[in-house]
Amino acid sequence: MDRSTLLFALAALGTAGSALAPPSLRAQAASDLHARIDELATAVNDQVVAWRRDVHAHPELGFREFRTAALVAEHLRSLDIDVTTEVGRTGVVGVLRGSRPGPVVALRADMDGLPVTELADVPFASKATAEWLGREVGVMHACGHDNHVAILMGVASVLSEMRDELPGTVKFFFQPAEEGPGGAAPMIADGAMENPDVDAVFGLHVFPMAVGTIAYRPGGMLASSDGLRIVVRGVQTHGAMPWGGVDPIVTASQIIMGLQQIVSRQTDLSDSPAVVTIGQIEGGNRGNIIPDTVLMVGTVRTLNPETRTDVHERIRRIAENIAEANGAEAEVTIDLGYPVTVNDPDLTGRMESSLRRVAGEGLTIMPPALGAEDFSYFAREAPGLFIGLGISPPEDPSLWHPNHSPYFYADERALPIGVRALASLAVDYLSGPPISEDRDR
């Protein structure tokens, strides 16, 4: 049976029918779709590289991604994809409908840069500047979002060429302000996950791992990120007569030590890592005056929603009780940031074969990471899978730099791998049986 006849037969069966087709027929159809993805990804790669360099040279801060959003919208429209702009302020949503009814899958890329002056030695290095916190700063794609944008634009090109072969719908989310204050929640509030409702959502992030690596992790993939503020109130007195007041500095030091017990003695780290860090402490203005207040500022990171709640409760209890024991008061404020990025276990298990086809021996389980991502909001609305893409040249360790570094470097050999990975996840999800059928097997 030739390829066109095979695909026509499966199209006639529809998504549910294709799941009941003989295994050999399904395997051949999947093989043909995968070959088509690879062929189209290769064909569009030069354009993906050009987009990546263009976006890299023109970074924009969160909710200011006007040029990037316009570039994306123009490209999607050229592919006859329905486009909505200004979603969540500067976000773009594209909707690509396949040839027949089926599930709805969303693919997400974030667009914003960082207030970092670029020091990487590349010919398309950013020279952009912007105002940040009242001063002029350099702007750079120091976290690699330029790669994300270019990859998803490439995926849109690939899947638009395959629309006659696909059931269901693909939604493309180009999201603003991932670096803060967060663009996923505003996009959701503007209806990005609705009309049609999304059944599964996929995303990727580039990391300093060897090119060819795709990393994933069932369950908690990236941490929640919550701001911590503790104000200790005592009674000011002369430093020579501490008994005349209540010392908030000594109380604060005891609270800091007490907080360390949460992670080292009260959290099951074999189940889920956690971090409680105090990164700033301010109090007093003279060596011979015990002040009346001390301010502590920190961050709380957890990889499990239940651990997150438990750690917050312990922080409050420890700070307030230690303060009370010293005759002081502690005012604890925890500002909820991005939630834990959770990879749905069933979805992750089902899509592992898609990732393995693309990465081969490069597919790996990602160790727990305490960075945070607002892809987590999308993954709370529908089953989600977030993966890491290696972008560091294995032959040159000098070019391995962490995300947010002014020297951050991305090897463009990773771009077609990213295109193939996201396109394969979308196609395999749309063409496969519903997850509920997988669970019953």
What is the CATH number that goes with domain 3-222+340-440? Answer: 3.40.630.10
Question: Within a 13 Å sphere around the CA of 224, how many CA atoms are in the beta-carbon half?
Answer: 25
Neighbours of 268 (CB within 10 A): 10
Share of the chain above pLDDT 90, in %: 89
Q: Which CATH architecture has domain 224-335?
A: 2-Layer Sandwich (3.30)
The residue behind tokens 């026509």 is: 8
What pLDDT is stored for residue 159 in this prediction? 98
Q: For residue 404, with 0-12 CB atoms within 10 Å meaning exposed, 13-18 middle and 19 or more buried, which class applies?
A: middle
What pLDDT is stored for residue 434 in this prediction? 62
**Domain map of the chain by residue range?**
3-222+340-440, 224-335
Instruction: Write out pLDDT tens, residues 46-104.
Output: 999 999 999 999 999 999 999 999 999 999 999 999 999 999 999 999 999 999 999 99
Active site residues: 338, 412
What pLDDT is stored for residue 75 in this prediction? 98
What pLDDT is stored for residue 27 in this prediction? 74
Question: Within a 13 Å sphere around the CA of 345, how many CA atoms are in the beta-carbon half?
Answer: 3
Q: Are strands 91-97 and 167-175 parallel, antiparallel or unpaired?
A: antiparallel
What pLDDT is stored for residue 238 in this prediction? 97
pTM, full prediction = 0.90
Helix axes 415-431, 23-57, angle to 10 degrees: 140
Sheet of strand 100-110, all strands in order from the earlier edge strand to the far edge: 82-87, 91-97, 167-175, 100-110, 200-210, 384-392, 214-216, 363-365
Q: Can 3-222+340-440 and 224-335 be said to share one CATH topology?
A: no
Q: Give the chain's residues under pLDDT 50.
A: 1-17, 19, 436-441
What pLDDT is stored for residue 433 in this prediction? 73
Helix (H, G, I), strand (E, B), or coil: what is residue 385?
A: strand
